[in-house]
Amino acid sequence: MEHNIGTYNDLDPDTEARVESLLAQMTLPEKIGQLVQIGPFAPFDFEDYQAKNMDELIRSGRVSSFLNITIPHLINHCQRIAVEESRLGIPIIVGSDVIHGYRTIFPIPLAEACTWNPALLERASRVAAEEASAVGVDWIFAPMVDVARDPRWGRIAEGAGEDPFLGMAMARARVRGFQAADLSSGRRIVACPKHYVGYGAAEGGRDYNTTDFSERTLRDVYLPPFKAAFDAGAGTVMSAFNEISGVPATANPLILTTILRDEWDWPGVVLSDYESVRHLIPHGMAANLKEAARLSILAGLDMEMVSSAYPDHLAELVAAGDVPLAAVDEATRRVLRLKFRLGLFENPYTDESLADALILRPDFRALALEVAQESMVLLKNEGNILPLSPQTRLAVIGPLADNRLDMFGCWSLQTHPEDVETVLEGLAAYLPADAWTHVPGCPIRDTAPTDIAAAVAAAEEADVVLLVVGESADMSGEAHSRTHLGLPGRQQELADALAATGKPIVCVIMSGRPLVIPRLAGQAQALLAAWHAGIRAGRAVADILFGAANPSGKLTASWPRAEGQIPVYYAHKNTGQPAADADMKAFAAVFKSVYLDEPNSPLFPFGFGLSYTQFDYADLRIAQPTLKLGDTLVVSATVTNSGDRAGAEIVQLYVRDRVGSVTRPVKELKGFQKIHLQPGEQRIVRFEVRVADLGFTGRDMRYTVEPGDFHVWVGPDSTRGLAGAFSVS
């Protein structure tokens, strides 16, 4: 794929000279103003804007950025005051939460990651940038690159799942897409990976909750996707709500200065999350906003989102000598640098005629369908019941079959129900209207009457039951954590009644997270994880059900058997008494790291997903079984499409370091390739991994690659594959 990518981390002398010249002209209040993001006022209510005296705040240089304003004429109004009426003419930067599309809504990011197709997601992110830039947005608060291993946490929907390596690939792709340098609007976008760092480790899966993990886990699990995003050119980052080792991220010198500036030499802007400077007070780190401002600026936080600690208190802190002026200067320098690099001084205004031409274009809708198709994961297909025949008489049952709003998922600011295709509308492309009966059966929640009897009656008249169930959009996302991850409401009761008819059930599950559905998995002959798949959800589901699209998605977060297993993830440690260690003879078999009432394994593992064809693996080869530090591990295997349909397979490479100076995971993903094969076609899939990339954070908290023996697997998921071995000397 050809890239024309904007990067914001290569300092150039001309820009630096412009920054220093402008900085030298600024008063302290003007510098502090560059560290202030305001919002949201009611963006569709100009009276609210005027009541908050925004014109005067901008004119006096006390606003640097606005949050989630997406009206071109209002953005231009603000920009005109900043550029033409303020003393120094410094433009405003407009930030917005464009998490998985602006108006062309793609599947939620967790679903997008199940494509295992970074090039595709780069294209999707570029579409988001095209649309957002057309309305005047300069700054996208995405990608979310938090590694998340607890599906109770609602924000698992916003990231790439449980694995750092896959998260790195998706982070790079989405940053490249957002920061494409040749957008049709002629403007530029800067990405803002979030939430820095460790937010996905919230205890109990409860949003905003305490986190507690070692520095080694920080460096080996949670930091790598951020580093990948910065290496791809991301010019900003958003700090997290959580603490790290007892110090909230917003005021944490280890992550904001030691790692970000001293170790990584990253020159970008750090933005707080929403009011997270003020949050230092309930965290118990600061007694008041003044103290919160001091702690945050000294730790390395550049810009404050919404709360008013910086504008209210930084000047007096500098005057009292509690905050060096140099700290304010450095934060201001970073913000000015970003605005210069975005071209805002030369091109501050938005062409208000662009939005109609650049939003929801037909090619954008076509791409949304492609992403939705590749994101869906076939979890079960007993007896090859899928794909369905066009002659099948269907009973379409469930609260999500004729549903528009919930297809948007948990993070869409622009929700236009008329943009969405429902499952029923998708089916219409394959079946005449008299070939199915639709009965919702029950609501998603249990607050409305059910019609289970009518659903059963419809099932008894059909060849196949198409059951479309899951979560509503507002059951996942920020502040929407759940302790019970089964089907909400009476949907399982509906499934029980339908299973009792004996009719085959094809179940489509729409959700923002992995669900706990062992009972449903036993009842249905086919299971398709369709997620909240965006505006083309219905057509994508129908294309897969009728075989126009061959499913190729694979899970990027394990699906538990029970909530009591959580967290359950493939890259776990082995423990001293592992469940499957046949050589451990010191204790009876019961004294293992196991449950009494469930297997250790998930219901559906990381990397798992079925196809309508069959892929066979053979002939694992390791080019050089003994390697040195500067070498490259080369592993290959032959993959054959032994079925009768063309299909795509995601070939995965896993490695295990057998013995280390600190304990290591039982497996780690180190490579993947998505290949397309015709029936009977075979291909040698070759992986190259630098030995330098097989390391970890050692006892001294430094990255190290240790000599020793390694296992390697090439296969279709994290539980299966051809096995081999190599060593590093």
What are the backbone dihedrals phi and psi of residue 636, each rounded to the nearest 5 degrees, phi first? Answer: -140, 160
pLDDT digits (tens, 9 = 90+) for 661-718: 999 999 999 999 999 999 999 999 999 999 999 999 999 999 999 999 999 999 999 9
Q: Are residues 313 and 451 in the same domain?
A: no
Residues 617, 714 contacting (CB under 8 angstroms): yes
Q: Are residues 216 and 114 in the same domain?
A: yes
Q: Are residues 633 and 541 in the same domain?
A: no
Residues 38, 66 contacting (CB under 8 angstroms): yes
- Find the catalytic residue in 273, 302, 419, 657: 273
DSSP character at residue 48:
H
Q: Are residues 197 and 275 in the same domain?
A: yes
Examine residue 10 and state whether it is found in any structural domain, yes or no. no
Q: Are residues 337 and 387 in the same domain?
A: no
Choose one of 524, 545, 566: the last residue of a domain: 545
Examine residue 258 and state whether it is found in any structural domain, yes or no. yes
Examine residue 57 and state whether it is found in any structural domain, yes or no. yes
Lookup: tokens for 443: 């609501």
* Single-letter amino acid code for the residue at 241: F
Q: Are residues 537 and 414 in the same domain?
A: yes
SS3 percent helix, strand, coil of the chain, rounded to 5, is: 35, 20, 45
Separation CA 1–CA 425 (nearest Å): 34
Examine residue 68 and state whether it is found in any structural domain, yes or no. yes
Which CATH number do you get for residue 456? 3.40.50.1700
Examine residue 4 and state whether it is found in any structural domain, yes or no. no
DSSP character at residue 208:
T
pLDDT for residue 53: 81
What are the backbone dihedrals phi and psi of residue 28, each rounded to the nearest 5 degrees, phi first? Answer: -60, -45
Q: Are residues 405 and 453 in the same domain?
A: yes
Which CATH number do you get for residue 646? 2.60.40.10
Helix axes 164-178, 224-231, angle to 10 degrees: 30
Q: Are residues 124 and 211 in the same domain?
A: yes
pLDDT for residue 718: 98
Structural domain range at position 232:
34-351
Please give, one letter per residue, the 3-state secondary structure of 379-427.
EEEHHHCCCCCCCCCEEEECCCCCCCHHHHCCCCCCCCHHHCCCHHHHH
Only one residue has tokens 């295992």, namely: 116
Q: Are residues 221 and 336 in the same domain?
A: yes
* Single-letter amino acid code for the residue at 74: L
Examine residue 361 and state whether it is found in any structural domain, yes or no. no
Which CATH number do you get for residue 287? 3.20.20.300
Q: Is 273 a catalytic residue?
A: yes
Indicate the SS3 state at residue 13. helix
Examine residue 604 and state whether it is found in any structural domain, yes or no. no
CA distances (Å), 445 to each of 141, 386, 395, 450, 467, in order? 31, 29, 21, 10, 16
**Closest to 199 (Cα-Cα) out of 248, 146, 255:** 146
Q: Are residues 522 and 641 in the same domain?
A: no
Lookup: tokens for 283: 């965290």
User: Exposed/middle/buried for 208, CB within 10 Å: 0-12, 13-18, 19+?
Assistant: middle
Q: Are residues 486 and 623 in the same domain?
A: no
Choose one of 545, 574, 604: the last residue of a domain: 545
H or E stretch covering 190: strand 190-191
Separation CA 3–CA 675 (nearest Å): 21
DSSP character at residue 106:
P
Instruction: Calculate Rg over the CA atoms of the chain.
Output: 26
Task: Outline where 508-549 has alpha helix (H).
Answer: 518-523, 537-545
| Cα-based angle 335, 341, 344 (whole degrees, multiple of 5) | 85
Number of domains in the chain: 3
**Closest to 36 (Cα-Cα) out of 13, 67, 8:** 67
What is the full DSSP assignment across 647-712?
EEEEEEEEEEESS-SS---S-EEEEEEEEEE-TT-EEEEEEEEEGGGG-EE-TTSSEE---EEEEE
Residues 6+ apart with CB under 8 A from 583: none
Q: Are residues 70 and 155 in the same domain?
A: yes
Q: Enumerate residue ranges in the chain where pLDDT < 70.
A: 1-6, 40-52, 581-589
Choose one of 525, 545, 565: the last residue of a domain: 545
CA distances (Å), 639 to each of 52, 104, 619, 722, 723, in order? 63, 36, 9, 11, 14
Examine residue 251 and state whether it is found in any structural domain, yes or no. yes
Only one residue has tokens 């936080």, namely: 301
* Single-letter amino acid code for the residue at 498: L
